[in-house]
Amino acid sequence: MLQLEHKRRIVQACYPKDDQEALELWHDIKPVKFGFPVTWAAGAVTLATYQIPMNSRLLILRVECYTTTLVAAAPGFGQLSPPPVGATAFWQYIDVVTDETRVTPTVPIHLLCDVDEFVLGKGDHRIALQSTLPAPPDANARSVVTLVYGYLVGALVAGKIGDSESTYFGG
């Protein structure tokens, strides 16, 4: 149900001139979900990555990130906790060889994770949510789990909502 609401809002953001254009825009939007768990250890880590098809754009709408432990005797066993305090994150194209491949600046992790987003990734690139994690609070094995919810949009939608996009972050 939420997926239909998101599609409806994306179509509305394109300001279709009539029902026929709205229907064409509707069919130009395909949902995607990606991400994976990583072991929580101090240092740089990739939280999620996705290869954007050549003739599409990736519209990222929501990122969920949480920590958990599956050690039965550990505090918080099986509970979902917020992303690590003190961690930072940024979106970056990881298939480009240059140094300036960031899509967003480096910010505290809570500004990119567990929030509604609006990041538009260019087609034919591999985009990744990169993070620098602090040391875990104790010696128990913990995981950082990230799920990214977005939509692949074609030229019709991208041309309407992404006309002022830039390829890379300039900072």
CATH superfamily of 2-161: GOLD domain (2.60.120.680)
pTM attached to this predicted model:
0.85
The β-bridge relationship of strands 88-93 and 107-108 is: antiparallel
Q: What is the pLDDT of residues 124-158, one digit of tens each?
A: 899 999 999 999 988 888 999 999 999 999 888 88
The more confident residue out of 115 and 55 is 55
CB–CB of 1/8 below 8 Å?
Answer: no
Going from N- to C-terminal start, the domains of the chain cover 2-161
pLDDT attached to residue 170: 46
Give the DSSP per-residue string, the chain.
Answer: -HHHHHHHHHHHHT--SSHHHHHHHHTTEEEEEE--EEE--SEEEEEEEEE--TT-EEEEEEEEEEEEB--TTSTTBT--BPSPTT-EEEEEESS--SS--BSS--EEGGGTSSEEEEEEEPTTSEEEEEEEEPPPSSSS--EEEEEEEEEEE-HHHHHHH-TT--SS---
Report the percent of the chain where pLDDT is more than 70.
91
Tokens of 130: 């990169």
Q: Which residues contact 96 (CB under 8 A, 6 or more apart)?
A: 125
pLDDT attached to residue 168: 47
The β-bridge relationship of strands 126-133 and 29-34 is: unpaired
CB–CB of 74/96 below 8 Å?
Answer: no
State the average pLDDT for the chain: 86
CA 116 to centroid of chain Cα atoms? 9
Q: Which of 88, 129, 84 is nearest to 108 (CA)?
A: 88
